[in-house]
Structures are given as structure tokens and as C-alpha cells.
Structure 1
Amino acid sequence: MSVVEEASRAGRAHRFLIGVTGGWLPLMACYYLAYPLYNAMSLLALLVTAACWLLAVGGSVAALVALLRRRAYGWAAGALVVALGFGLLIEATNWERRYVDSQFRLHRTQLAELAASHRAGTLPPDAVLPWRLRYLSIDGRAHRRDESLYLPVWQDWRAENGVGFGYFPTSSGTLIATASGDIGCPVRYLGDGWWWVA
């Protein structure tokens, strides 16, 4: 086999490996963005997630079969390792924690300003959030609950369960109505008086 043919074969195999990776990345995005995705699209989000699973697994299997038919066994083994690695990464990652922590870090300044307005008493009971924070709340609002402030991130379709960001200026032991049929409490401290409520 000539050097040109070998380079062409390696180039095609390399594209298959990139194709395998490209199938798993949208699936990872679906898992990371599960709260906003399910809030915006509800049941359609299940179809989107299922389609991403089909793309990831189907693309990986198609790439493996194509590489094996070309007798590119090393590349096929690499594609298999990449696909299995992505699958394990998706299953092993705590996507809720990853999303909550990254969103808190990203919006820490705006959340501090919101908390300051709440402490000063200038925030209305169901205040419309600034546009940069609006997607963090299912209704785009921050809700005053006695001394606390609550941003409802997610509720199930029957409003029996909910989770969100809670600001507790004095006590972290306060119970909050996270949905019509659910009472939540602070379960994990995020910083600056903010907690993840579940």
C-alpha cells in the first residue's frame, strides 16, 4: 500500500472517530440542560433526548461497522473506547449538581444583587427576574417566601415535586413550597446565602 493510500485511509478513519465523538456531544448537552430543556419543551424533550441517544449509539455502531469493514482495526478499537468512555461519563456524572453549580458560578453577581434587593425590601413578592436570570426560573420570577427568596428551577407536570434556588438570609432550616404538592428544604449550600432546595 502506498503512502498516499495509507494517508487517505487514516484520514477516513479519523473522520469516523470524529463522527463518533460528534454523536455523543449533543447527548451530553441534553443531560446538562435537562432542567431548561424539560421546562421549555416538556414531553418533547423526551423525544429530543431519545433522538440524541439514537444519534450517539447509532453513529458509534455505524462507525465501528464501517471501520471493521475497511479492516482499520486499530481505529475501530479507538472508536469503541471513545464511545464507551462517553457512555460511562454520561452515566457517572451528576448532571444536576454540574448544572446547578455552574449556573450559580455564572450568575453569582446577579444573584447577589437580587439577594441585596430582597434584604433591602425593594423586591416585589413575585418579582420578574432580569433577562440574564430569567431562564433559571420556570416562570421567570423570584418568589418571596416569608424571609426567603425562591427561584423555581423545575416542577414535574403534576406540580407534585419541585426543585430550585433558595436564598435564606437568616436560617437554612426553612421549608419552602417548591410546587403545589411539595415542600422542599435546603439540601446543599452554594454560597452567599443561596442553597439548592429539593
Structure 2
Amino acid sequence: MTTAPATRPWLFAGRPGAVGTSVWRAAHRDGPDAVLFDRDGTLVVDVPYNGDPRRVRPRPGAEEALARLGALGIAVGVVSNQSGVARGLLTRRKVQAVNHRVDLLLGPFAVWAVCPHGPGDGCGCRKPAPGLVLAACARLGARPSRTVVIGDIGSDMAAATAAGAHGVLVPTPATLPAEIAEAPRTAPDLPTAVDLALATPFRPRATAARIAGGAP
């Protein structure tokens, strides 16, 4: 069985041209630093343990949602559990190949944070743990408290909450009723989820004077 280190996620850079957080911050003081998406079941149709880029199909509304964020200059990334690596069903190269296909269809994404571990590996990155969200935020220079995570199941929302980020659930037939009931916010589709992400009531940013003075 293929195993992976039990502590750290894989981090991949997106294609050239992906937007960092500084462009959006300069124009929108009270907007999100970044929006992070789950991959399977959210951005693309869920194909269990998929290692074949030819099987990648965007979810309805994904192109519209990502195009809007790109036009606004908002940094976007992907946070994805890929336990198929730990189970010996996927390799790093296959994960990268599928990610690259998603990036070509919907990106560019500024960062890909992937957990290659299994449920029993004791890592801190497998959702619902916060590690993927925190790693993506660190790579982007985004504050978790000013980041929105969009996903399709409860572990996506739990990871967002554990990281101190905001969550928006976009249910699919695979989403459990309890996950929908417990979600902080729900949206019927990805474009609406982006609307909610942009309307998130963040605390006003600290002014330059407050930052210089060490205020939080």
C-alpha cells in the first residue's frame, strides 16, 4: 500500500496568472481575502478515487462562479482530501494530473492543498481537521478569519469552522440531511455560494495606524 507522511499536506502552485490576495485587498477593504473550494462534488462531478483527467467534468455553475471571482481579482484555491493515495489507489502524479485538468477548465487557482492521508493516519490536514484550510491560507497570505470555504459535505464546513474561516455548503444528492441542517450557510448552486461569500460580514480591516500600533 502506498502511504504518505502523516503530518503535512501536499501543496501545489496553480497555473501562472492566478490572482494573489493583494489585488483584491487593494480595491475591496471589507471583502474576503480568499475563497477556497472543495474539489470532488463541489467543483467537479465526484468520481471516487479518480486518477484520470479525461473523467473530469465541472459541476453546474462552476465556470460561472470561478469566472466571477477571477474577474473581481479574488484569490481562489482548492482544498481536497485524496485518501486514495493512502489506500494505494492513487499516486502523487495522478492527483496532480487531475488537478491540472481542473485548473485548465476552471482556473487558474492560486494554490492546491491536498491531504494524501487515510482516515486512520492521524494527520492534521484531512478534513474535517483545519490543516488544509490553514495551509492554503498561509500560502496565499490570507487570514483564515477573512476566508470563505465552499464545499458539499459536512467535513468541508467543519474544517472551515476549525480553521476560523467561514463556510458555505452547496448540497448534492450525496449530502446528508444532518449536514445541511448543521451548515452555517447553504446555497442551491455555486454562483449563489459565491454571492454569499462576497456578502460575508467580515470585521472591518485594521487601519495602517492600528496595525503599526500592534492592534489585532
- Shorter-chain TM-score above 0.5: no
More helix by share: 1
More strand by share: 1
Q: TM-score, normalised by structure 1?
A: 0.30
Higher relative contact order (CA 8 A, sep 6+): 2
**Structure number with larger C-alpha Rg:** 1
